[in-house]
Structures are given as structure tokens and as C-alpha cells.
Amino acid sequence: DAGVTQSPTHLIKTRGQQVTLRCSPISGHKSVSWYQQVLGQGPQFIFQYYEKEERGRGNFPDRFSARQFPNYSSELNVNALLLGDSALYLCASSPGAYNEQFFGPGTRLTVL
């Protein structure tokens, strides 16, 4: 079975630009969560979506937004990129809202 997939693998953007990251969950999983992981730190929670509705939001500015589609895939959008947005962005899926999460390999975003 395919695991969680994320695209692109790597991305380089400049300050002020906008970026869209994509995630496909494991088949049958209805929940997708997004995390930001800065080198040397634990993942920081950004959003959780379940059944296409936002169920949780972390302490990130409004420049960060996300959505979940009818096929349960998800997109994370970040507007007006800052240097500090450079990080590994992880997507995780789970069968329901309160189960363990299965992580994708991440998208490495570099903001210059």
C-alpha cells in the first residue's frame, strides 16, 4: 500500500512569494495534518483537517492556510514568504480525528 505522499520534494522561493504544498493521504484515511519542522526541533502543528473541515489550528499567522478536497488530499498555502518559513513541511494522515498519524517524507522549503 502506498504511504503518505507529498509534492514537491524540494522547493526554493524568494521572500514575498507564495507557495502551495500538496499531500495525498493513505487510502481510506480521512484526516490530514500539517506540521513545520525546523532543523533540530520537533514538528510544530499547523492544521488538522478531518472530513474536509478544519478541526484544529496551531499558532501560525494567517499567511498559512490549508484545505482538504473531497478525495481527502490536502494543500497547504503560505503567502508572503519570510526567511523564517524555511523548514521541512510534513503532512500526516490518520484514519480518524484521534488516531495515530502516518507521516509523509516532507517538502523541504527554502526561502531566499
Partner 1 sequence: AQSVTQLDSQVPVFEEAPVELRCNYSSSVSVYLFWYVQYPNQGLQLLLKYLSGSTLVKGINGFEAEFNKSQTSFHLRKPSVHISDTAEYFCAVSSTNTGGFKTIFGAGTRLFVKA
Residues near partner 1, by CB under 8 A: 33, 35, 41-45, 48, 50, 54-58, 90, 92, 97-106
16 vs 61, which CB is nearer to partner 1? 61
Tell the residue number behind the cell numbers 514575498, with chain if given: 16
19 vs 107, which CB is nearer to partner 1? 107
Q: State the burial class of residue 91 (Cβ atoms within 10 Å of its Cβ: 0-12, 13-18, 19+).
A: buried
Question: Minimum Å distance from CB 10 to partner 1?
Answer: 14
Question: Minimum Å distance from CB 79 to partner 1?
Answer: 22
48 vs 81, which CB is nearer to partner 1? 48
**Alpha-carbon gap, residue 89 to 109, rounded angstroms:** 7
**Alpha-carbon gap, residue 49 to 33, rounded angstroms:** 6
